[in-house]
Amino acid sequence: MIKRIIILSLIITSGLFGLANDQIRFVGVGKQVVKVGERFRVVYEINQDANNFRSPNFGSLQVLSGPSSSSNSSIQYVNGKMTQSYAMKYTYIVQAVKVGEVVISPATVTVDRKQTKSNTIKIKVVKGATTKQSNSSQNKKPANSGVLQDDDVYIKAFVSNASPYIGQQVILTYKIYTKVPVSNLMVKKLSSFQGFWSKNLLSENQQYKQKTEIINGEEYIVAEINKFAVFPQKTGKLVIEPTEMECTVQLKVQNTRRRGHDPFEDFFNDPFFNRNVKNINTIIKSNPVIINVSPLPQKGKPDGFDGAVGDFRLSSRIDRTTLTANDALTITLTLSGKGNLELIELPELKFPSDFESFDPKITSNIKTSSSGISGKKKFEYLAIPRNGGDFEILPITLSYFNTITKSYHSISSEKYEIHVTKGDITSNGISYSSSAQEDIRFIGKDIHHIKILPFNYKRQGEFLFLSNTFFLFIILPIVIMIILLLVITQLRKRKSNVGLMKNRKANKVAKSKLKVAAKYKNDGDDKAYYDEIAQALWGYIVDKFSLTQSELSIETVADILKAKDIENAVTENFINTLNNIEFARFAPGDASSKMEAIYNEAVTAIIEAEKELR
C-alpha cells in the first residue's frame, strides 16, 4: 500500500514537475535470427537509475565482451512541455556458436532497492547460406522488421552450360538479388576456379547495371556483380566454390519503444534524419556451382591436337618471297575466333636451318564481352636467311574442336617458297663471320641404323686359330722357304762353277792366242799380230774376272786388279803392256825387235798375273 502511494506520489510529482518517470522499463533486445559465427549485440536498457546489474545466462552463446554500461539523460522542452528521459544501457557482444534456439534468461537490476527483471530473449541460430533459402520461406516477414532476413539479399551463380567439353568456354555469372538498399559491396572471398582457366569479363570499377525482377511476388533489384569466362581444364565433376561478399544493408527499424509515445518522434524518426535506419554488416554467399566436364571425343581426333576448343580461323601473310641474304623476312600468322585464345599456342613455324629465326612476337587483341572471349592473336615471325638459295617454309596446322558442330577441324597456314639471292656481304659492311658458323645442336639421341648387305658370314663357333687351315699356313711358309733355300744354293753353286771354268781356261786361251800371234809375227803381218796379242790380254782379263766386253777399258782393268790385292808392280806392268800394245796397234811399221819385246812383255804380264791371282 505504502509502495503504491509512493509510486502514485512519484507520478504526481513527475507530472507536476514534468518529469516522465512514469514506470520502470527494463528491456533486453537482441537479434531474433542469427547465423552461426555471427557477432551481435544484446542490449539491456533501463529508464531508471539502477545498480547491481546481474548478468543473464546466455546459454550456448559466447560472450565476447560486456557488460559495458552507459547512461544518458536528456531534458527536452517542446512547446513549453518538458520531457526528461533517462536511459542506462548494458551492452553485451556475443557470438552464436551452435545451431538452435537460445533463450537468454532475464537480467536483474536493483532500482530503489527493488529487484527488477527484464524480459527473456529468444534467439534462433541458423546455419550458413544453404539453409538460408528454406529458412526464409518459413519466416517471411516484412523487410523492414528491423532484422535482416535471409531472402532480403542474396547472390546467385549462373552458368551458361553446366556440362561442357573440356576446354569449352562457360560463362559464369554472379547476380545479387536484393530487396533492401545495399551499400559497400565488397568481395570477401572470390570463388577459386580450381580446374579452370578463368577470365573476368567485367572491367574493374564498372557500374552495376540494375534491373528489377519479381520473384515469388516480391520485387527484387538484380545486378550482375561478376562475370567470368571459365575454361575447364580437366574432366569430371568440378565444383566452383561459392563467392562471399560483404555488404552493408540498410534496414528500417521500428522503434517500438517510443512509438506512439510521442507523435513528434515520428518526425525525427524519418529516414531523413537516419535515426530509424540501421546499418547491418552482413556476409552473403553464393551457391556453389557444379559443372560436369566431359572429355573430347576420341573419334577423329587429329594428330597434334593440343586442346584448342572453340571456333578459329588462321590467316598467314609474308612480306616478301624474294630477298637477298641477310635481309629480314616477316611472316605473320593471325589466329582469330572464339574460345580459349589465350591458352592456344600455335605449333612452331619451322624455318630452314640456314635461316636465323627468332621467337615470334605475340600480340593479343582479346575482347572480353559478356558473351565470352573472342579476338585475335598475332604471331610475328622474323627470320634472316644467311645464305642464298631456294627455300620452302612448310605450313603449320592447328587442330581444334568445334563445340557447335561437335567435330574436329584443322586449319593450316600457307606454304611459302622463298628465293634468296646471295648478297654481297662485304659491300654491306656487315660481317657475319661469327654467326656463319655455329655448333651443331643435337635434338635427339637414337641408335644408329641397321646395316645393309653385304654381310660377312662365317660358321658359328668356327675359328681360324688352331684350325687345320691355321696349321697349314704355319707349315706352308716353312716348306716354301726350305725349297727356296735349296734351289738358290744350288743355282749359286752352278754359277760359281762356270766362273771357275773360265778362270781356269783364261791362261790357256791367252797362250793359244799368243801362239797365233807368233805365227803372224813370222808371217810379217804386224796388224794381225798386234790384234791377236791385244785379244789375248783383254780376253784373259774378261775370262778371269767374268767381265763383259763393254766394260773393258784400261781404267776398269786397273781398278779390278787393284781390288784383287795384286802387287802394284805386277799391275803396273800389266797396264803398261796393254798401253804399249794399244800404242803399237795404231802406230805400226816398227822393227820386228819391238814386236818381239811386246810379245815377251805380254807373256810375262799374263804369267805374273796368273801367279798373283792363283
Partner 1 sequence: MLGVTIFAVNSDSLVVIANNAYNQGLYDSALVTYGRVINKGVESGELYYNMGNAYYKNNDIASAILYFEKASMILPNDEDVKYNLNIANSMIVDKIEKVPELFYHHWWNSIYNIMAADAWAIFALVSFSFLILSIGLFILSKKRGNRKLSFYIGMLFLIITIASSALASQKYYLNIEHKEAIVFISSITVKSSPTLNSVDLFVIHDGTKVEIIDRIDSWVEIKIQNGSTGWLPKKSIREI
Nearer to partner 1, 437 or 460 (CB): 460
Q: How far is the CB of 441 from partner 1 (least distance, A)?
A: 18
Q: How far is the CB of 424 from partner 1 (least distance, A)?
A: 42
Q: Which of the 8 DSSP states describes residue 20?
A: -
Residue type, position 447, single letter: I
Nearer to partner 1, 37 or 499 (CB): 499
Nearer to partner 1, 5 or 447 (CB): 447
Distances (CA, A) of 443 to 196, 373, 437: 34, 37, 18
Cβ-based neighbour number of residue 363 at 10 Å: 12
Q: How far is the CB of 445 from partner 1 (least distance, A)?
A: 7
Stretch that binds partner 1, among 14-22, 41-49, 385-393, 471-479 (CB under 8 A): 471-479
Task: Kindly report the length of the chain.
Answer: 614
Stretch that binds partner 1, among 99-107, 350-358, 440-448, 494-502 (CB under 8 A): 440-448
Cα–Cα distance between 230 and 339 in angstroms, integer?
Answer: 10
Q: Which residues contact 19 (CB under 8 A, 6 or more apart)?
A: 13, 84
Q: How far is the CB of 469 from partner 1 (least distance, A)?
A: 9
463 near partner 1, judged by CB under 8 A: yes
Q: How far is the CB of 397 from partner 1 (least distance, A)?
A: 24
478 near partner 1, judged by CB under 8 A: yes
Nearer to partner 1, 359 or 446 (CB): 446
Distances (CA, A) of 58 to 37, 65, 369: 15, 12, 53
Asked if residue 146 lies in contact with residue 252, where contact means CB atoms within 8 angstroms, the answer is yes
Nearer to partner 1, 12 or 488 (CB): 488
Nearer to partner 1, 78 or 475 (CB): 475
For the chain, what is the radius of gyration of the CA atoms? 67
3-state secondary structure 199-244: EECCCCCCCCCEEEEEECCEEEEEEEEEEEEEEECCCEEEEECCCE
User: Site size for partner 1, by CB under 8 A?
Assistant: 32
Asked if residue 579 lies in contact with residue 554, where contact means CB atoms within 8 angstroms, the answer is yes
- Find the binder of partner 1 among 15, 477, 499, 588 (CB under 8 A): 477
Nearer to partner 1, 328 or 488 (CB): 488
Closest CA to 542 of 502, 504, 575: 502
Q: How far is the CB of 449 from partner 1 (least distance, A)?
A: 7
Q: Within positions 479 to 508, which residues make up the interface with partner 1, using CB under 8 A?
A: 480-481, 484-485, 488-489
Nearer to partner 1, 473 or 583 (CB): 473
Backbone angles phi, psi at 265, to 5 degrees: -65, -30
- Find the binder of partner 1 among 16, 78, 404, 447 (CB under 8 A): 447
Cα–Cα distance between 12 and 451 in angstroms, integer?
Answer: 127
The residue ranges that bind partner 1 (CB under 8 A) are 445-461, 463-466, 470, 473-474, 477-478, 480-481, 484-485, 488-489
